[in-house]
């Protein structure tokens, strides 16, 4: 698949609602397999509602169109990049704090330790690859 075609797909207004629906279905299946039907059904309802919201609210909001992908120009792409970096940093900080708290409680620190390791490793690999690409 070319990057042009993948861009066309991800910038369709249907991409995020469809992805939400697929994720909702995955939550439902996981919930049913784990014998937690309430969690599964709740997940499907929440993800379907979110998908419908971004589909319908896009005509009124630039933020929703940008989130969906079809209203994304260079300025919004920059906003998206910064928001992604900020949310990633938030998750990493939360993981480190949770790991420290677990260690202080005399617990093993798992799974925070390997989640922190994955985050750090992914950052280093991305940094190296992006630098190599120029």
Partner 1 sequence: MRNKIRGLRTARNLAQGQLADAMGVSRQTINSIENERYIPSLPLALALARYFGTTVEEIFDDQRA
Shortest distance (Å) from residue 55 CB to partner 1: 19
Please state whether the peptide bond connecting residue 111 to the residue before it is cis, i.e. omega within 30 degrees of 0: yes
Return the number of the residue (82 or 91) whose C-beta is nearest partner 1: 82
Return the number of the residue (71 or 119) whose C-beta is nearest partner 1: 71
82 lies in the site for partner 1, by CB under 8 A: no
Other C-beta atoms within 10 Å of 74: how many? Answer: 7
Return the number of the residue (77 or 100) whose C-beta is nearest partner 1: 77
Shortest distance (Å) from residue 104 CB to partner 1: 44
76 lies in the site for partner 1, by CB under 8 A: yes
75 lies in the site for partner 1, by CB under 8 A: yes
Q: How far from the centroid of its chain's Cα atoms is residue 87's Cα?
A: 9
State the alpha helices, DSSP H only, in the chain.
Answer: 3-10, 15-33, 37-57, 62-68, 74-104, 112-133
Residues 55-74 that bind partner 1 (CB under 8 A): 62, 71, 73-74
Q: How far apart are the first and last CA of the chain?
A: 23
Tokens of 109: 């620190």
Shortest distance (Å) from residue 74 CB to partner 1: 5
Shortest distance (Å) from residue 49 CB to partner 1: 26
Query: Could you give the C-alpha distances from 35 to 23, 24, 46, 107, in angstroms and in order?
Result: 18, 16, 19, 28
Could you list the residues that contact partner 1 (CB under 8 A)?
62, 71, 73-76, 78
């Amino acid at each position: 698949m070319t990057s042009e075609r993948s861009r066309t797909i991800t910038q369709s207004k249907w991409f995020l609602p469809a992805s939400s629906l697929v994720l909702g279905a995955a939550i439902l299946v996981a919930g049913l397999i784990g014998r937690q039907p309430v969690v599964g059904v709740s997940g499907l309802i929440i993800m379907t509602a979110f998908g419908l919201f971004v589909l319908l609210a896009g005509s009124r909001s630039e933020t929703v169109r940008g989130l969906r992908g079809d209203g994304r120009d260079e300025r919004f792409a920059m906003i998206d990049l910064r928001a992604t970096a900020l949310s990633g940093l938030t998750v990493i900080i939360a993981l480190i704090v949770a790991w420290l708290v677990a260690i202080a409680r005399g617990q093993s620190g798992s799974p925070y330790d390997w989640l922190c390791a994955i985050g750090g490793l992914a950052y280093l690999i991305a940094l190296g690859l992006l630098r190599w690409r120029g």
